[in-house]
Structure 1
């Protein structure tokens, strides 16, 4: 039996082909004339795919294997019985069996249709417990939807398109109800087909981002691929329907927060979680994260982020946690600013031992920056840089780096991608670099 199952929409498309007699959910009944033409064209040198395509069949729908198998079977029948064999009913008979003497009359077809309905009702009764059919005494009650489905199967199998009213009377349902059900089932099949095609598109994007993408990321990615963007509510529905769940990062319970020594001095939390800024260069946040290489070596990444544009302004990679890592980061920040320091410029950090020494605070003051610190043990006070480190560890395979040089190349590539090509939903679907230009222009 074929593994391909045709939905309602596909069955209607196949039935519209003049070379088809009828279509079930798993098989196609072809007309004898087409079989003869197909065999002759095949004997003249044409392949099965070419023959079926030229006669209006979609090979992606019916399958290339089905076309080859059908043509192989027709050639065997043609060699044994000639063209007449295609006009005779030989199913269930051997090669020497006597063919049928003629077609069935309309009365006979009607009797077979009524017998088919009774058979399906008996089948429902047989499997009523498995299918959850309701009972009233000894009589099995079929729902209207089940009766409509039976009628549709009978009409398709026996090609009784002019007997719809009679079959509805036999099944004790209204003809208008059957046509309404038919229209609804067709629209449902079309929607299912469209959803599947959209899912294939989403799956390509999902695989490209290694599953680390949500509905907002899908929206921004599809905005560049499609002329008409896909609605974000539809993206959410398809993600739930086809189980495209975003791979989210988990909190690391083993992260150790450095403690400030007694001779170091902390400063107040001047930022106070005012993360919504509209002036680039006014508020910077900084922190350090650790990265474990493939060899087991630990590296440390220090970054400075602009809260308004969300750009990474400066960063430094080191294998040591001495004070040099933050001093070099400050020097790179100073080079990036190039003397254009905002009058109210502020740099915010946690209370780690790197940011409390007098020398560090003196260098910050010399750069005309006001220093601010999070409350003790409260990482949410420095949420923007923590969020960046989370995305960085999601997107960069730093654990696969076998050397510090290889890790540095990964970091340089990601920083360029993050600042220049990675769009963000909250930045009006712009990259940080584009959003900075937008804020300056405004």
Structure 2
């Protein structure tokens, strides 16, 4: 059948990994339901790292590595009876309902032949100076690879995602009527403020499957090129980081040719697509 032995086994390995990942996600959701809905944290647990593990094993027969709980440490800590940030069980449930995920409408169909339809967004960290950290939020046109909007911030607050959207609204008017923005299931994108602004801009919203970076691969790829081709370590201040980012965005959009864009830079490729349309 013309299939190599290595290709055959790689196919099944990937398939098995997908099944394992799906099973792990279901198990993780079950753990969260036990922790919060049955309130074991408010009745039995005082030290999260140890007693939570023992409670789950002894009362529910669930043996999990402590690292499994790490994504939920903040939520668990906030619900502790002696926590300064204690959130009552009903309030916690309300907060979870406010943050809503969206279906994966994109399904990795990144190239749909139209500029301004599929928009990808994400946030990455930037290390500069002597171990300092900043954050970069971008919105990328999946068809042309053009960065349509970006924001650099010293904080991961909601403003970094909201300001990126506002810049998109202010600077670009060539989006299609059925345009939608695709992201992961991060806090910023499930936040009601972000989703409200998306709707006000007339955009649809799509999200990757949980923990699956391949569902937003072109955006991740851009961050990789960005970090390889910039010299952030030479920057000492946030303002210098912003200048470095601005310089690279200009170079990337208008001068950096890409093989899969007929060797054209993103902005020129978009102009070519629009002429043909």
Aligned to 2:112: 277
Secondary structure at 1:285's aligned position in 2? strand
The partner residue of 2:171 within 336, 354, 357 is 336
Q: Which has the higher contact order (CA 8 A, sep 6+)?
A: 2
1:262 CA drift (Å): 2.3
Residues in 1 aligned to 2:162 and 2:71: alpha-carbon distance in whole angstroms: 20
- Whether 1:292 aligns to 2:127 is yes
Contact 1:341 1:368 in 2 (8 A): no
Aligned to 1:390: 224
1:377-425 per-position Cα deviation (integer Å, ceiling 9, x unaligned): 0011001110000000000011221111111111111001100110000
Residues 257 and 352, structure 1, Cα contact 8 Å, conserved in 2: no
Indicate whether 1:381 and 2:215 are aligned: yes
Q: How many Å separate the matches in 2 of 1:284 and 1:341? A: 9
What is aligned with 1:312? 147
Runs of 4 or more consecutive aligned structure 1 residues displaced over 6 Å after TM superposition:
256-261
Distance 2:193 2:155 in 1: 19
> What is the alpha-carbon distance in structure 2 between the residues aligned to residue 397 and residue 343 of structure 1?
38
Instruction: Provide the C-alpha distance between the structure 2 equivalents of 1:333 and 1:294, rounded to a whole number of angstroms.
Output: 29
The structural deviation recorded for 1:257 is 8.3
Residue 325 of structure 1 pairs with residue 160 of structure 2: yes
Is structure 2 residue 204 aligned with structure 1 residue 366? Answer: no
1:426 correspondence with 2:257: no
Aligned pair 1:301/2:136, yes or no? yes
Aligned pair partner of 2:184 in 325, 347, 350: 350
Quote how far apart the aligned CAs of 1:432 are: 0.5
CA contact (8 A) 2:142 2:218 kept: yes
Q: Provide the C-alpha distance between the structure 2 equivalents of 1:270 and 1:435, rounded to a whole number of angstroms.
A: 25
Give unpaired runs (5+ residues) of structure 1.
1-255
**Alignment RMSD (CA, Å):** 1.9
Retained in 2: the 8 A contact 1:257–1:377? no
Change (3 A) 1:428 1:257: farther
CA distance in 2 between counterparts of 1:284 and 1:354 reads 16
Say which of 100, 113, 128 aligns to 1:265.
Answer: 100
Instruction: State how 1:88-107 maps to structure 2 within 5 Å.
Output: none
Q: How does 1:17-36 map to 2 (within 5 A)?
A: none
State the shift of 1:358 in Å: 1.4
How far apart, CA to CA, are the structure 1 residues paired with 2:271 and 2:215? 27
SS at match of 2:122: strand
Residue 296 of structure 1 deviates from its aligned partner by 2.0
**Between Structure 1 and Structure 2, how many residues are aligned?**
186
Contact 1:266/1:373, CA 8 A, preserved across alignment: yes
Aligned equivalent of 1:86: none
SS in 1 for 2:137: strand
Aligned to 1:223: none
Query: In terms of Rg, which structure is larger?
Result: 1
| TM-score, with length taken from structure 2 | 0.64
Provide Cα deviations, 1:340-362, integer angstroms capped at 9, x if missing partner. Answer: 44111010000000000112111
Aligned equivalents of 1:295 and 1:408: distance in 2?
17
Local SS of the residue matching 2:126? strand
C-alpha distance in 2 between matches for 1:288 and 1:257? 18
SS of corresponding position for 2:226: helix
Q: Do the aligned partners of 1:398 and 1:410 also contact (CA within 8 Å) in 2? A: yes
For structure 2, the residue ranges without an aligned partner over 5 or more in a row are: 1-69, 76-94
